[in-house]
Chains A and B, each alone.
Chain A
Amino acid sequence: MPNDKKSQKIVDIIQNAARKHSLFVLAYGTGCGAIEIPPTMTSRYDAERFGIRGMATPRQADVLLVTGYLATKTLKRVIRAYEQMQDPKYVIGFGSCTINGGMYWDSYNTIKLLDKYIPVDVYINGCMPRPEAVIEGFIELQGLIKDGKANGATKYKENIDWYRANQKKVIKNWNMPDYNW
């Protein structure tokens, strides 16, 4: 195959269209939002008809769904899970806690803005968002993937120093391995 820009573009379009319909969501629930995921995935709302399904391990998943508030302790695990995930990877911030801290806005132990620690592609607002809203958010993400705009992972790699500085400000004892994606 000739390695020029035009053919690469065609490959990208095909790749993105294929990726969009096979989103493996890491089964990792934080906060209270995880309770909305079982009805979303099962027969009532059936997210699988959009190509969205659960996956047990971060290395085999595409989407990290951060379902609610993150204590600084949980943030450490979320960062670790996110860095283990392989490209392409996307993050969905779920519920108002990831947007502005939600009802934990004055807590000494929960982060208020998820976007400062890991790159968020799509936010779903609400407390809690209903399964319809969750599916709406996933469709939004699929649209971004199709247009090639869901580039949170690239942003993370480019600005890793800025993200690391923010993360280390909250996580004082940084004893995590470095993943060479």
Chain B
Amino acid sequence: MTEDKHIKEQKIVDQLSGTFQNLTGKVKRERRVEVSVEKKLIPSVLSYVKDQLTFTHMSHMSCVDWLEDEHFELVYILWSPELKVQLLVKTLINRENPVIENVDMIWGQLNTYQREIREMYGIQFTGLEGREEFVLEDWDEMPPMRRDFDTAEYIKDVFFERPGRDGAKDVREVIATRSGEEIPELAKKYSRD
């Protein structure tokens, strides 16, 4: 069924997995292909898809923090104007020592994305040029987009908070008592103390 419907997408997956070892790819849906590779293959896969498979447009690059599995996942999102297919190239990197090759010679705009990821997640790109500081100023804590960075704890230490009105009521409780309902267990953690 998939093979009949998504011919051009399946062709891309076949071509990539024929060229590179240890590359797993699948067709997500029409016009969307996803491939996962090892991190040392990233420069060659990216330049191959750019030169050979017409994925000339670099749409975005993002990072996912898989805290429980102890790795970061980098996602390079590419678009082919000719094939009209979006390609997601994914790779996993170690959370303890996050280092990956810099690839901004393939697309110049990757420089900006990589600098942002370096600042927000603390991932080091070997050979990446540009100022260490990107958006944040004088930041000396853990990179703030990492999931083990406790924002609530941090703002309690650094910023002032308005204490709020005396006798302020909890909205959920007021509505629940008025309508005679019970607050579900999952919503209780959002209630006031």
Contact = CB atoms under 8 A, between A and B. Distances in A.
A72 interface: yes
Interface string A115-155: 01000000000000000000000000000000000000000
A17 B44 CA distance: 73
Interface string B129-146: 000000011101000100
A109 B144 contact: yes
Given A106-B151, A106-B152, A112 B137 contact: no
Instruction: Summarize B's interface: helix, strand, loop or mixed.
Output: loop
Q: Which range holds the interface residue count of chain A?
A: 20 to 34
B162 interface: yes
Instruction: Summarize A's interface: helix, strand, loop or mixed.
Output: loop
Given A106-B155, A108-B144, A108-B151, A113 B160 contact: yes
A163 B112 CA distance: 36
Nearest to A100: B162
B138 A112 contact: no
A73 B158 contact: no
Nearest to B144: A108
B155 A172 contact: no
Contacts of B154: 108
28 contacts: A73-B136, A73-B137, A76-B137, A99-B162, A100-B161, A101-B159, A101-B162, A105-B161, A106-B152, A107-B155, A108-B149, A108-B151, A108-B154, A109-B136, A111-B159, A111-B160, A112-B159, A112-B160, A112-B162, A113-B159, A113-B160, A113-B161, A116-B160, A170-B158, A171-B138, A172-B138, A172-B140, A173-B138
Interface of A: 72-73, 76, 99-101, 105-109, 111-113, 116, 166, 169-173
Interface of B: 136-138, 140, 144, 149, 151-152, 154-155, 158-162
